[in-house]
């Protein structure tokens, strides 16, 4: 009974750790976990297997500009496509449109594996309709980009 409780306690502790902390070099399904920093300085993590990238998570510096004029807005945006999206890592561009949750977002990934490193580019774009100070609305078009070069997590 004591061994069962200890095993259950360890399992619970591992379950609440962040995904990067749980990750070994390769999991039971053959996915290799990668983590590091983007060229822009934000953390990035994903799983890689046979030329595919999944569970991609990072933040990108983004700029939002209005077609009606005004000062552009700069922010850090989440680049967190749904877990079900799998990007190709063969040097070609993979692009997905995600409509839920609002706003509609376009995720683009270009990645290539060379030896133990995966390098690539990320792009996120979306549009927003926001109220302005005089009672009207403005359309903001936002774009975030980033570059990365990361190694497998050990």
Beta-carbon contacts of 140 under 8 Å, excluding residues fewer than 6 positions away, are 64, 65, 66, 73, 127, 128, 129, 130
Question: What confidence score (pLDDT) does residue 108 get?
Answer: 96
Confirm whether 108 is domain-assigned.
Answer: yes
Confirm whether 13 is domain-assigned.
Answer: no
Average pLDDT over residues 58-77: 91
Question: What confidence score (pLDDT) does residue 13 get?
Answer: 41
Confirm whether 97 is domain-assigned.
Answer: yes
Ramachandran sector of residue 113 (left: φ over 0; alpha: ψ -120 to 50; beta: rest): beta
Instruction: In whole angstroms, give the CA distance from residue 86 to residue 132.
Output: 37
Question: What confidence score (pLDDT) does residue 25 get?
Answer: 58
Confirm whether 8 is domain-assigned.
Answer: no
Average pLDDT over residues 106-133: 92
Average pLDDT over residues 106-119: 94
Confirm whether 9 is domain-assigned.
Answer: no
What DSSP designation does 14 have?
A: H
Confirm whether 67 is domain-assigned.
Answer: yes
Work out how many domains the chain is built from and give that number.
1
20, pLDDT greater than 50? no
Say how far residue 117 (Cα) sits from the centre of its chain.
17
For residue 95, give its domain range.
19-152
Cis check for the bond before 101: say yes or no (omega within 30 of 0).
yes
CATH number at residue 43: 2.40.160
Instruction: In whole angstroms, give the CA distance from residue 118 to residue 114.
Output: 6
Give 124-134 pLDDT, tens digit per residue. Answer: 999 988 887 78
Of the candidates 30, 7, 34, 8, the residue with the CA atom closest to the CA atom of residue 20: 34
Say how far residue 89 (Cα) sits from the centre of its chain.
14
Among 3-17, 34-48, 67-81, whose mean pLDDT is lowest?
3-17
What's the distance, Cα to Cα, between the start and end of the chain in Å?
Answer: 33
């Amino acid at each position: 009974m004591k061994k069962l409780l200890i095993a259950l306690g360890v399992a619970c502790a591992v379950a609440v750790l962040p995904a990067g902390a749980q990750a070994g070099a390769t999991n039971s399904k053959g996915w290799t976990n990668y983590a590091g920093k983007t060229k822009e300085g934000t953390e990035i993590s994903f799983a890689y297997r046979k030329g595919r990238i999944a569970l991609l998570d990072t933040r990108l510096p983004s700029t939002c500009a209005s077609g009606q004029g005004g000062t552009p807005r700069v922010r850090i945006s989440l680049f967190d496509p749904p877990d079900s999206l799998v990007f190709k890592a063969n040097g070609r561009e993979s692009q997905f449109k995600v409509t839920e949750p609002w706003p509609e977002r376009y995720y683009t990934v270009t990645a290539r594996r060379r030896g133990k490193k995966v390098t690539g580019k990320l792009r996120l774009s979306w549009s927003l309709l926001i109220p302005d100070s005089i009672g009207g609305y403005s359309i903001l078009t936002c774009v975030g980009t980033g570059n990365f070069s990361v190694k497998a997590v050990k």
